[in-house]
Chain A
């Protein structure tokens, strides 16, 4: 038996009994260490006659590769056994709850305002605002509702002064006046905001939200008003077809004036907007009254246009099936969590209004 064969058989005898990394290190040293058996054989190489050297070198390298591979294999096996051993003790119950966190929500009114803004943004409307406290002039008189007008009775107004000159705005329409007085036509605005009436029961809250729309330019007709609202209602309720009906009505600040009804039906006790044989009143609109334009220093001979107003809270109730208006303002943790929207659920046109 040659030296190499001997080494090989010693190695084979030992490698099988290797159990630990330590054993393995010992074998490595024994064969490949400074004075290891394989190392010794390589040192012999120089002493051999040249004609034998080639064969011996080739055999020696073969054995060296073979033993190295076996060591590598053993290393892998030991590592693996070690990991598997460890894993046996590392089992946790992943059905345990995650760390406590609080889920924030956006109020339905805010979400709906964002939805509406996004819809009107597409057709070029900008968002305008005005103060919550208004003058009696802006809230009524400038809107063609002089002091003795019975239409004032329809607004249960909160006043801040005995002489009734300062009040909480009863609608968002005074922003029309402010916007027109502070700019130059054309105007293309929507105004979402808080409005106030001293009226409180199941269907009325002393504060609620309105959306005002105003489009003034040289040749704006009622046809455009119809088109604009038709577009808005379809987009908002996310339906392809909506039955819409304009019904003549009266607002002092528009002429002609109309109320708009949309078709709906009840399915499984829920309101389905679109068709159906029932009508639901959702907004008021009309062509801006020439007196209002005059009061806003716009010449009604050159400019005309439409305005509309709708209840934001009511739209939210209809779209999201909320029954009680007053619950919007009661700040019940459970209600807000239930009807609120995820903060990442931002209404956009490219992604769609709602999830």
Chain B
């Protein structure tokens, strides 16, 4: 909402400086977004007349104009406008002037070899409208040539962000009223206009009793024999100040009243109305051409203003071309109506129309302003355009009863924390237009009809503190006291896994929760896609079902930037359905490239599955899972290389699924076209990490080191090639838990001297007893047992 200070002062009697007014606005919740100097420099822009147009000698599309700017001499100006012609009166900008739209400062310049002293302007260049097809064509008189086009002196245009609850402040008077309540000035009251209303109202008006009827009141005035014309300068200036383009006196007056009093109006060319006005629900498929020159096909149940033959307008939203007023319009029907906000909103959304009237009606216009609107506008039309007005006709439900709230004054202190006296409260509310009666500790408050946002006590409390000032609220410092844990177990895991992976060299990424369905399907084959109806772009069209969908995309981008050895991770939601809660937090990481690339000391090698297995294992241990509970198998999912990946479950293959790890599937690598194709990933499912089952933190197990000598024995088993070494180690460990402290595989060999379907596995076993030094005999005994059990359970033989 744009206002100017002089316009504001038509409603507010105040001596306050501009800056004071601006800061008060913000303080009471009418946030000033910007303050722009409206004209000032614009006085340089002069009314000028093209005397003669010649073709530019060096350019087909350019013309060289002799322009009279009010002095006897003429200037040469180069112009490209198609409408530049002899005798045209237009607007001239001299060298040194700054063009409002482009902020470009003019200089005397040669254009294709011909000197141009200034420029002829289009409406768009002067920010008057979007019209940029040619230069402005004025109807000015010869005597005006040489005068400044913008007559107003420097006026600040103040742009205020009006929150949706304050439709009353979409008019300058409403803003003035709010300001007056701060004590900065007095709201000026106007006498009711005395209008001669002798002529007949020739148009019958009815509001049908349709199911969705969106119109409650339709007030109108028939004005005949007017002379529509360009608006007088004072009115044009106001229209310009709003950033609008003056059209004609009738249209400008309706716009003026809308912005001045927040009272939208509409003027019909009465001669184009077929017999009568019927306000009704639209029928399915009805068509209508609106003033924005677009044709709309209506759905059933939209509120339309019609005559006997067709639709004339969408009530409260936009008028139609059929009855639009022109300069030659003689008789008009002036409409001042009330439309239900929800009806306006529904229709405008379905048709995607946004107009100043719609914006106001959907927020709530004062239903009791129908008559005032008619009075002010009719008065202005008669003054500017002449003619004779009829009496006002009000069709529908006239005058709404105001709401009453009985407000207990102590409720203010209960909510805000500081007291307010009943007299102060009464004073503030009255200054805002409320009607108050004091009753002991209570105010009986009648809500003005222009405040649809006030429903209950808290709304009044807000009004009071808004005007009294938030700065008066006494600050109460918080108590440093904690009764509940800040983070629950899952939240701690989230936090811990971030730190855990970052400490392993991974960079944390935060990527969109949505992704490209083409990439996502690579990682989530066979699962149902979760589409977004209105994606921000076609390559972010689904919710991600895999944490890899975006990570892989960004890994590739980094590779393309020349970073091949990149480790990234993200912890965030992945989705398995479109309902709330069908999501889980997944820790995902990808790493690509080599270890020790370009090292003078270490041998360069490709990252392999044991690197990623190490990362996933260490992370799980750091998340509190104990090593003996990690059940590792080679069953993984489709997006991994089937031979170089695995999964980790808790305790057994049937236990909760903790993680996947492994090389990405070559098909995916190929499809996504990675520059560095050696890529490994891990996924950890935080919801499956077991929560320690204890109410209070337990002490650690007692520390019982053995003081007795420890011994080591190496074994070389020849075992089936497909036998999993993880299982072999487990078998050995379980042979004697008290003696066997550690089992480590230190060599795996296939090839010469070993049968084709076998492999040789070298295992080191550490033996130590808690209560004695092991004798050679003891050690031989346990060694034999290891060999026997392994043979029995796996068929492995000891290699001689």
Interface residues of A (CB under 8 A from B): 96-97, 99-107, 109-110, 114, 117, 120-127, 129, 131-135, 138, 147-151, 153-154, 158-162, 166, 168, 188, 194, 196, 198-200, 206-207, 219, 221-224, 226-228, 230-231, 245-250, 252, 255-259, 287, 289-290, 304, 328-334, 336-337, 340, 342-344, 346
Contacts and interface: CB of A to CB of B under 8 A. Distances in A.
A129 B31 CA distance: 32
Interface string B403-418: 0000000000011111
A120 B486 CA distance: 8
B508 interface: yes
Given A105-B508, A330-B554, 17 more contacts: A99-B596, A100-B598, A103-B505, A107-B510, A110-B498, A126-B486, A148-B341, A158-B514, A160-B543, A226-B476, A246-B473, A247-B31, A289-B458, A331-B554, A342-B502, A343-B498, A343-B500
B243 interface: no
B120 interface: no
A121 to B, nearest CB: 4
A121 B482 contact: yes
A334 B563 CA distance: 9
A250 B29 contact: yes
A168 B558 contact: no
Main secondary structure of the interface of A (DSSP, over half): mixed
B516 to A, nearest CB: 13
Contact of A148 (B345, B532, B557): B345
A287 B510 contact: no
Interface of B: 26-29, 31, 163-166, 341-342, 345-346, 362-363, 414-418, 456, 458-459, 461-462, 465-466, 470-471, 473-488, 491, 495, 498-514, 530-536, 540, 543, 550-551, 554, 557-558, 561, 563, 565-568, 572-573, 575, 578-583, 595-602
Contacts of A259: 31
Contacts of A219: 414
A106 B508 contact: yes
A103 B503 CA distance: 8
B459 A255 contact: yes
A154 B578 CA distance: 24
Contacts of B600: 96-97
Given A127-B487, A206-B540, A106 B471 contact: no
Given A159-B532, A256-B465, A224 B478 contact: yes
B533 A332 contact: no
B681 to A, nearest CB: 15
A343 B531 CA distance: 35
Contacts of A329: 510-512
A153 B163 CA distance: 12
Contact of B479 (A124, A148, A194, A340): A124
A168 B532 contact: yes
B511 A159 contact: no
A158 B476 contact: no
A124 B478 CA distance: 9
B466 A100 contact: no
9 contacts: A99-B601, A102-B567, A133-B580, A133-B583, A158-B536, A160-B543, A168-B513, A194-B572, A258-B470
A92 to B, nearest CB: 10
Contact of B566 (A100, A134, A333): A333
Nearest to A121: B486
Contacts of A110: 498, 508, 510
Contact of B466 (A109, A188, A248, A287): A248
Contact of A124 (B481, B487, B503, B573): B481
Contact of B499 (A106, A196, A231, A252): A106
A148 B487 contact: no
Contacts of B462: 248, 255-257
A331 B505 CA distance: 15
Contacts of A104: 501-508, 567
A334 B558 CA distance: 9
Contacts of A336: 507-509, 568
Among all A-B residue pairs, the 7 with the closest Cβ atoms: A248-B29, A223-B417, A102-B505, A221-B417, A250-B163, A246-B470, A331-B554
B198 to A, nearest CB: 42
B503 to A, nearest CB: 4
A333 B583 contact: no
Most buried by A among B165, B362, B507, B563: B507
Contact of A166 (B471, B579, B599): B579
A153 B202 CA distance: 41
Nearest to A138: B580
A131 B418 CA distance: 38
B417 A107 contact: no
Contacts of B483: 124
A195 B369 CA distance: 41
B614 to A, nearest CB: 14
B262 to A, nearest CB: 15
Nearest to B604: A100
B782 to A, nearest CB: 39
B517 to A, nearest CB: 14
Given A114-B495, A231-B478, A160 B578 contact: yes
Contacts of B601: 96, 99
A342 B505 CA distance: 10
Nearest to B540: A206
Contacts of A346: 499
Nearest to B456: A290
Contacts of A131: 580-583
Nearest to A228: B478
A127 B486 CA distance: 6
Which of A101, A117, A150 gathers most chain B CB within 10 Å? A150
A102 B476 CA distance: 48
Given A121-B486, A133-B575, A150-B164, A222 B465 contact: yes
A278 to B, nearest CB: 13
A132 B473 contact: no
B755 to A, nearest CB: 40
B602 A99 contact: yes
A196 B572 CA distance: 14
Given A99-B599, A223-B416, A330-B554, A129 B491 contact: yes
A154 B484 CA distance: 35
Contacts of A105: 502, 507-508
A290 B461 CA distance: 13
B508 A227 contact: no
A117 B491 CA distance: 11
Contact of B602 (A100, A246, A304): A100
Nearest to A331: B554
Nearest to B567: A102
Nearest to A206: B536
Contact of B503 (A246, A304, A343): A343
B362 A150 contact: yes
Nearest to B344: A148
Contacts of B486: 117, 120-121, 125-127
A331 B511 contact: yes
Contacts of B551: 331
Contacts of A344: 499, 503
Contacts of A207: 512-514
Given A150-B164, A332-B561, A256 B476 contact: no
B498 A106 contact: yes
B533 A100 contact: no
Contacts of B540: 206
B450 to A, nearest CB: 16
B414 A221 contact: yes
Given A109-B510, A168-B513, A328-B510, A123 B531 contact: no
B583 A340 contact: no
Contacts of A245: 470-471
A203 B563 CA distance: 28
A333 B551 CA distance: 12
A100 B583 contact: no
Given A104-B507, A122-B482, A160 B533 contact: yes
Contacts of A132: 513, 573, 575, 583
